[in-house]
Each structure stands twice: as C-alpha cells, then as structure tokens.
C-alpha cells in the first residue's frame, strides 16, 4: 500500500497562497483602520455621490488611492453597486482620470472576486454539471468560447457585476481569458457609466453631450449584439455537427 501523500497541484498552491494573502490583507486593513470596512459599506450602499465625493476629496493627495481601494472593495464583494463610486470619480478627478481609475479598480475587484468564487464554487459546480449532459455541453462551450462571452458580458454597462463574476467562476473559462476579457470589456462599460453618471449630475451643463453619448452608445451596442449573436449561433451550429462535441 502506497504511503505517498497527495500534494496540491501548482494551481492549487497558487490559490492557497493567494487566499491566505487576501485574508491577511483584510485583517491588516482592519488593524490599521477599524473604521475602514463600516465606512466602505456605508458609502457603497448610501447612493449619495456627494457624500462619496466629499469622503474621497478629504484624503487630499491620497484621494486617488482611497478611491481605488473603495472601488476594488465594492467589486470584490460582488453584490454592491459601484456606479455611485464611478460617478464620484468622474466628479472629483475629471472625466478621463475618473474613467481610468474606475476601470482599473473595477477590473482588479472583479478578478479578486472571481478567484474567491471559483475557489469555493467550482468544485460544487463540477459535481452538478457531471450529472447533466446539457450542462456538460454548456460548460465545454464556456471553456472554448469563454473569452468572447465574458468580453461581451463585461462590455455591457449597468449589468450586475456579481452575476457575471459568478457565472465566470462556475464556468470552465481559463483565468487568463477571464482577466484579459475583463481588462478589455470593462473599459467601454466603465467609461459609459462614468460619462453618463457625471453628465446626469451636471445635466444642465452637459445635456447635449449626454444625448450624443446615449445615442452613439445605443447604436454601437446594437451592432455588437448582432455580431455577438451571429458568433454564438455559428459556434453552436459547429458544436452540434461535431461528433466529438
């Protein structure tokens, strides 16, 4: 009888180390500032952009860092809305700096959330998927086409971020594809959220620009939806005719 012990795979070690590091980081933040988490929760759920903007501005030269931490926290949690913080970033730092800050922070946040969810949910999902031929085909499709699907999903503004992250976590999409799809897809959606949110707050000053942004965005997303739909239909047809699928 073999006495060899099973060792975690390379990916398993990475997940374990990353998980421990994340927990240590959370504890360290609470030790340094016990009010951080209650404050983040209040700001994320209050819906008051003026309050969020005032809080961020109060940190002076460190305002951008604090804003990024707040946005990362909200997106890592997964079920809190980040639109108010994104809009506040546009109001505090200006349109383009606000877009860049929100884009990077949201991308980092959803990647953290993805790894957390996958660590806890993927094994359970595998067991459920194995019991259904249909789910196995869907899961296989997500592995082969996960980048395109995630890219399109992330490019949609105002769509619940946590739902997309959870679907990605239980799918077979590769972490590399998930990260890249989010990095690219998050930019247009975040840019629209910041631009539209900022212009709505300053409606009287930017009414014309807001109208143009909404119309152009509507046309672009309609075209993207048609392209995406054709791509999915083509891949589904190929999978149905593939005897090895």
Instruction: Using 50 as the pLDDT threshold, list the residues of the chain that sit under it.
Output: 1-8
Q: What is the pLDDT of residues 12-34, one digit of tens each?
A: 666 677 667 777 877 887 887 78
Domain boundaries defined on the chain: 54-235
**In whole angstroms, what is the distance from residue 123 CA to residue 203 CA?**
48
Q: What is the pLDDT of residues 142-189, one digit of tens each?
A: 677 888 888 988 998 888 888 888 888 888 888 999 999 999 999 999
Residue 111's nearest CA partner among 28, 198, 182 is 182
pTM equals: 0.76
**In whole angstroms, what is the distance from residue 73 CA to residue 44 CA?**
9
């Amino acid at each position: 009888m073999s006495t060899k012990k099973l060792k975690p795979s390379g990916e398993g070690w990475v997940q374990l180390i990353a998980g421990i590091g994340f927990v240590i980081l959370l504890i360290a933040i609470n030790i340094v500032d016990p009010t951080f988490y209650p404050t983040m929760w209040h700001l994320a759920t209050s819906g008051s952009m003026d309050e969020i903007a005032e809080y961020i501005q109060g940190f002076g030269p460190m305002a951008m860092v604090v804003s990024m931490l707040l946005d990362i926290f909200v997106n890592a949690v997964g079920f809190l809305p980040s639109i108010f913080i994104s809009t506040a970033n546009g109001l505090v730092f200006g349109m383009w700096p606000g877009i860049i800050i929100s884009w990077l922070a949201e991308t980092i946040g959803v990647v953290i959330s993805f790894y957390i969810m996958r660590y806890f949910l993927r094994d359970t999902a595998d067991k459920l998927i194995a019991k259904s031929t249909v789910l196995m085909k869907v899961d296989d499709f997500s592995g082969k086409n996960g980048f395109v699907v995630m890219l399109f999903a992330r490019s949609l503004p105002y769509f619940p971020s946590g739902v997309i992250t959870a679907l990605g976590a239980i799918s077979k999409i590769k972490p590399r594809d998930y990260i890249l799809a989010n990095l690219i897809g998050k930019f247009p959606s975040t840019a629209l959220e910041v631009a539209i949110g900022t212009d709505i707050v300053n409606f009287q000053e930017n009414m014309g620009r807001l109208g143009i942004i909404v119309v152009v965005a509507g046309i672009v997303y309609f075209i993207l939806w048609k392209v995406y739909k054709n791509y999915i239909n083509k891949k589904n047809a190929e999978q149905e005719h593939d005897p090895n699928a």
